[in-house]
Amino acid sequence: MVTKQAEGGLRSVIQLVAILNLAYFAIEFTVAHTIGSVSLFADSIDFLEDASVNFLILFALGWSAAWRARVGMALAGILLVPGLATLWTAWQKFSTPLPPAPVPLSLTGAGALAVNFSCALALARYRQHAGSLTRAAFLSARNDVLANIATIGAGLITVYVRSAWPDLTAGLGIALMNADAAKEIYATARAEHRTARP
């Protein structure tokens, strides 16, 4: 049972996380387009998805357990969108495998890491509240931290190995992580829905 005080704190955190994700989406998408980075593109779309997820959670927090579980299942599908967008971008990159500029790649990845780490820390204390909804928000932020570390690594490797493969590999890894998180959230939401049904 979530107290009114805890729900108020959760709402404030979710709102902040949504705004931060939307703001950094604009930054990262611009850099990704400029330098032709698959991993930054994947992560920027993930920032947009995270913003959408968190705004949706804000609306759904006051709903019944059954409706929150249904939204949780829908969020699992939303988490797959960045992965599909990444696969399409990676496929296009195979035809022109030019490496992205490593310094902007790493610096933008570092900025994304700072944003996502802050969001994951803020969400960690609420990850068990409201079931699959806040679990989705927390898992998404946590996975993004891992993705940003991979992006920074890809940029550092590209300094020494002038190849598109580190960036492509990091981008595809991000897609796989999102798919795994979607599977976990869907399973949790399904279990919640069965429990909540009369």
Domain ranges in the chain are 4-196
pLDDT of residue 131: 60
**Rounded to two decimals, what is the model's pTM?**
0.73
pLDDT of residue 34: 92
Under CATH, to which class is 4-196 assigned?
A: mainly alpha
Q: What is the Cα–Cα distance from 31 to 42, expressed in whole angstroms?
A: 12
Identify the pLDDT of residue 159. 84
* pLDDT for 5: 61
Burial class of residue 134 (count of CB atoms within 10 Å of its CB; 0-12, 13-18, 19+): buried
pLDDT, residue 1, reads 46
- Angle made by CA atoms 13, 18, 24, in degrees to the nearest 5: 125
Residues of the chain with pLDDT under 70: 1-7, 82, 92-93, 95-97, 127-133, 192, 196-198
